[in-house]
Amino acid sequence: MHGPASSGWLLVALCAVTGAYCLVRMRSGGGERRGAGGEALMGFGMAVMAVPAAVFTPPPWAWPAYAVVFGAAGVHALWAARSGAHHLHHLVGAAAMVYMSLVMAGPPAHAHGRDGSGIPLLTGALLLYFAGYVLLSGVRLVPVRVLAGGGTGDGGGDASGWGDRPELARACRLAMGIAMVAMLLTL
């Protein structure tokens, strides 16, 4: 992406850890294995995309290959949306990755005398979607008892594994949404 190296490395770390946790969720045997797989692909894909260009410049064929991989992920998400509308978010995420890949594959914005890359209206629409998603995800992380003023009351020990913790899955989705906003802002 076209941002400072320090923020790029922070995005790499955030997305890689998120992708790794999604792999743990896939192995947990819970009901969200396929969704966790898509989220792992998204997390690792975003981590690779966020590596600062000063450190690694991908070969010219990498960005179109990225677009193909995430295009296939988008088709899969569209197919999975038949069983539940929550897969539509994966479709939007895959479409955003395809869009960013195509923008990265094109010539730099300064070669055309423009200030930014991409299509401003599409970038803005994706930014609005992911900003709204981040806000909604953040609200969903707040325990209901805290919202009602009754304390946190988590109920004690945890008998389930790390992959079966819904609050961690929500936190990972929130982290990926924040990372997507950051990546879109650098276009």
Among candidates 61, 54, 47, 37, which has minimal Cα distance to 17? 47
pLDDT tens, 159-177?
456 556 778 888 999 999 9
10 Å Cβ neighbour count for 99?
19
Locate all alpha helices (DSSP H) within the chain, ordered by sequence: 5-27, 33-50, 62-80, 87-105, 120-141, 144-148, 166-185
Average predicted confidence (pLDDT) for the chain: 84
Q: Measure Cα distances from 104 to 57, 65, 78, 92 in Å.
A: 11, 12, 24, 18
- Tell me phi and psi for residue 168, to 5 degrees: -70, -40
- Residues 39, 76: contact at Cβ < 8 Å? no
pLDDT tens, 128-159?
999 999 999 999 888 766 555 555 545 444 44
Res 112: pLDDT: 47
pTM: 0.82
With 0-12 / 13-18 / 19 or more C-beta atoms within 10 angstroms meaning exposed / middle / buried, residue 74 is buried
What is the separation of C-alpha 2 from the centre of its chain, rounded to a whole number of angstroms? 17
